[in-house]
């Protein structure tokens, strides 16, 4: 049932079988499916639904056994994608970092205005980010910090 994307039925089956880990995973996929069904014009409801799905995928990632690295990275990526659609860019960036998708992490932080986090990704993982994007985001960060600090010098006497 799960492989056929019949998450609601799979969730019930896993509950009856007492397989809590699989229930958690089905729940995350079901939440994402439900979020996708919310019309685009219901912005707040859709964002909330995707945020909830992102939280569920984060739980799946955090509860993945250490030896299931690929699965954990996938759950973090799913969580991040949901958080982006839920307009929760800090959480999206954090999950993209955990998923080792550094370009997407930097973009999410930029979109949300989390420039300190974006800079940290650029500094720590810049070698994994395409050169044009790295240059663009570095310039954005420089402009942001210049703009933020500029008022500190207004009216200052030397």
Helix/strand/coil (H/E/C) assignment for every residue in 81-111 = HHHHHCCCHHHHHHHHHHCCCHHHHHHHHHH
pLDDT band at 154 (very low <50, low <70, confident <90, very high): very low
pLDDT one-digit tens code per residue, 10-27: 888 888 898 899 999 999
C-alpha 93/C-alpha 98 separation (Å) is 9
pLDDT band at 4 (very low <50, low <70, confident <90, very high): low
Q: Which two tokens stand for residue 123?
A: 């500094």
Percent of the chain with pLDDT over 90: 72
Task: Decide: 80 and 99 in contact? Cβ < 8 Å.
Answer: yes
Mean predicted lDDT score pLDDT of the chain: 89
Q: Which value, to the nearest 10 degrees, does the dihedral of the CA atoms of residues 18, 79, 130, 136 take?
A: -170
pTM, to two decimals:
0.86
Q: In this model, does residue 150 exceed pLDDT 80?
A: no
C-alpha 31/C-alpha 127 separation (Å) is 35
C-alpha 51/C-alpha 12 separation (Å) is 23
pLDDT one-digit tens code per residue, 65-113: 999 999 999 999 999 999 999 999 999 999 999 999 999 999 999 999 9
Average pLDDT over residues 48-75: 97
Task: Decide: 122 and 129 in contact? Cβ < 8 Å.
Answer: yes
Task: Decide: 90 and 117 in contact? Cβ < 8 Å.
Answer: yes
What is the pLDDT at residue 8?
84
Q: In this model, does residue 129 exceed pLDDT 90?
A: yes
Comparing C-alpha atoms, which of 32, 48, 91, 145 is closest to residue 99? 91
Comparing C-alpha atoms, which of 45, 46, 127 is closest to residue 85? 46
More confident residue, 8 or 45: 45
pLDDT band at 157 (very low <50, low <70, confident <90, very high): very low
Q: Which value, to the nearest 10 degrees, does the dihedral of the CA atoms of residues 110, 114, 119, 125 take?
A: -70
């Amino acid at each position: 049932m799960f492989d056929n994307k019949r998450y609601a039925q799979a969730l019930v089956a896993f509950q009856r079988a007492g397989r809590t880990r699989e229930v958690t995973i089905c729940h995350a996929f079901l939440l994402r499916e439900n979020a996708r069904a919310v019309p685009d014009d219901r912005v707040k409801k859709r964002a909330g639904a995707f945020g909830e799905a992102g939280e569920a995928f984060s739980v799946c990632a955090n509860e993945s056994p250490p030896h299931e690295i690929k699965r954990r990275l996938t759950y973090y990526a799913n969580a991040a994608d949901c958080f982006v659609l839920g307009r929760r860019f800090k959480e999206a960036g954090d999950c993209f970092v955990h998923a080792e998708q550094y370009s997407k992490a930097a973009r999410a932080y930029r979109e949300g205005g989390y420039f300190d986090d974006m800079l940290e990704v650029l500094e720590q993982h810049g070698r994994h980010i395409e050169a044009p994007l790295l240059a663009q985001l570095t310039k954005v960060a420089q402009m942001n910090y210049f703009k933020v600090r500029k008022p500190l010098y207004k009216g200052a006497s030397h």
